[in-house]
């Protein structure tokens, strides 16, 4: 499964950073590696929580995805562009986490992935939870979003690594 590969990629890289590299901000408005990791962990855990909410929904939802949601799932991932999140506390990840904290977070993401991957086929695909930008997603779509999001941030990870080398 590709989710495992992505989580392992992030974990392996995380072990090679110093705390200074992890918290380095190259310029205003750009996240540090630590902030990117924090964002990945929190978003992945949120998406996996939505899988759980779908499983517990108990009521079918007839509404579907937005145009952006349809496009995302047709592509099978986020387009290779930078996406600027709106300013605000929810989109300002912590830059104070230790390497150990982030490693524990990635382990938690992996545990939840393993917990849900075997159960996805048993969840009614018409049980859905609304995503603010992509519309009504079922458990399988929320689960796929974890993989898409982890892959999307690989380019940012490389750019941020280059930023502390100079």
What is the pLDDT at residue 115? 94
Q: What domains are defined for the chain? A: 2-165 (1.20.120.450)
What are the tens digits of pLDDT across the range 49-98? 999 999 999 899 999 999 999 999 999 998 877 777 776 666 778 899 99
Cα–Cα distance, 44 to 143 (Å, whole number): 9
Residue 164 pLDDT: 66
Distance CA 17, CA 20 (A): 8
Instruction: For residues 73 and 50, give the distance between their C-alpha atoms in angstroms, rounded to a whole number.
Output: 17
Number of separate helices (H) and strands (E) present in the chain: 6, 2
Q: Exposure pattern of 130-148 as b/e (b: 16+ CB <10 Å)?
A: ebeebbbbbbebbbbbbbb
Query: What pTM, to 2 d.p., does this model score?
Result: 0.91
Residues 6+ apart with CB under 8 A from 96: 23, 34
**What does the pLDDT read at residue 1?**
47
Go through the chain and tell me how many residues it has. Answer: 166
Q: What confidence tens digit (pLDDT) does each residue in 53-65 have?
A: 999 998 999 999 9
Q: Is the Cβ–Cβ distance between 93 and 35 less than 8 Å?
A: yes
- Reported as a single tens digit per residue, the pLDDT across 6-30 is 899 999 999 999 999 999 998 888 8
Q: Which tens digits make up the pLDDT trace of 95-118?
A: 999 999 999 999 999 999 999 999
d(CA 62, CA 69): 15
Whether the Cβ atoms of residue 64 and residue 134 lie closer than 8 Å to each other = no
For residues 99 and 23, is the Cβ–Cβ distance under 8 A? no
pLDDT of residue 90: 60
CB atoms within 10 A of CB 100: 9
The residue whose two tokens read 């912590």 is 94
In angstroms, the CA 6 to CA 150 distance is 6
């Amino acid at each position: 499964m590709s989710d495992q590969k992505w989580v392992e990629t992030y974990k392996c890289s995380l072990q090679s950073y110093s705390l200074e590299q992890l918290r380095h901000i190259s310029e205003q408005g750009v996240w540090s590696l630590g902030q990117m990791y924090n964002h990945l962990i929190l978003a992945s855990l949120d998406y996996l929580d939505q899988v759980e909410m779908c499983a517990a929904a108990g009521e079918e939802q007839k509404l579907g995805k937005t145009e952006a949601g349809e496009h995302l799932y047709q592509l099978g991932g986020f387009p290779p562009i930078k996406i600027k999140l709106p300013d605000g506390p929810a989109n300002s990840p912590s830059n104070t986490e230790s390497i150990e904290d982030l490693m524990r977070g990635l382990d938690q993401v992996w545990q939840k992935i393993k917990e849900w991957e075997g159960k996805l086929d048993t969840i009614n695909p018409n049980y859905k939870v609304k995503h603010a930008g992509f519309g009504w997603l079922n458990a399988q779509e929320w689960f796929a979003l974890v993989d898409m999001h982890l892959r999307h941030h690989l380019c940012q990870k490389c750019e941020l690594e280059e930023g502390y080398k100079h």
